[in-house]
Amino acid sequence: MGLSHTLLVYVLVCVHLGVSQHFLRLRPSPSDHLPVPDLKEDPDPEYDPREQDLAERTLRKKLGSNFDPNFMSITSPMLVNLSAADNQVKLQGSMPNEIKNLDLTETPYGKRVKVGKKARRKFLQWLWTYTHCPVVHTWKDLGVRFWPRYIKEGNCFSERSCSFPEGMSCKPVKSINKIFLRWYCQGFLRQKYCTWIQVQYPIISECKCSC
């Protein structure tokens, strides 16, 4: 599923929720960009789930096999960037063909130079590492109206340019959907009816160096 389609599904859910909870909307306006912007909620606690609505056993049963402890948490994790060990650059798989097949012997002026096998291997490994775009994970608190309320979001590494020479940056190219429960209310005050519904939440799963 592409990013545009995934976000369209998410935006439609938000619009549907916003029919009765007019404060609920994406901020800023919906776009093709991930991660998903923060939601602006109605601050009225009347729209919050009550203690009896947060029974873990009941909610786990409602979420079923969609509960993924790798990306969601019931209790509060450390809401900071994960450790360097978790977010370190990991070059998985084989070297991309566009790097592996680079011709390092030909100069822009047509003159050929000799490059040893060891020097070529080290340079290509450096270039692969430099242009690699890891997904950096951060825990985020979605608030009491989501269950589980904590999600491990993905972000594309953005501390420097990923190209040589500089100019390109890491951008999301793939995402995965995680199913959460959303506390949804219809009506107002004593006339309102609230329940938990399932919603999809897109998370960046792969980034690529791009213009």
d(CA 202, CA 184): 19
d(CA 197, CA 183): 7
pLDDT in the model for residue 201:
93
* pLDDT tens track, the chain, 211 positions: 444 443 333 433 443 344 333 333 322 333 356 888 888 888 888 889 999 999 999 999 999 999 999 999 999 886 555 544 454 556 766 777 777 777 777 766 667 777 788 888 888 888 888 888 888 899 999 999 999 999 999 999 888 898 878 889 999 999 999 999 999 988 776 778 899 999 999 999 999 888 8
Beta bridge partners of 85: none
- Which SS3 state, helix, strand or coil, does residue 45 take? helix
d(CA 117, CA 106): 15
**What are the phi and psi torsion angles at 139 (to 5°)?**
-75, 140
Write the CA distances from 49 to 24, 61, 124, 183, integer angstroms: 16, 17, 54, 7
What domains can you pick out in the chain, each with its CATH number? Answer: 44-74+132-210 (2.10.90.10)
pLDDT in the model for residue 179:
95
Q: Which of 84, 93, 169 is nearest to 131 (CA)?
A: 169
- Across 96-192, the runs of DSSP E, i.e. the strands, are 135-141, 146-147, 150-156, 169-186
Q: Quick count: other Cβ atoms within 10 Å of Cβ 38? A: 12
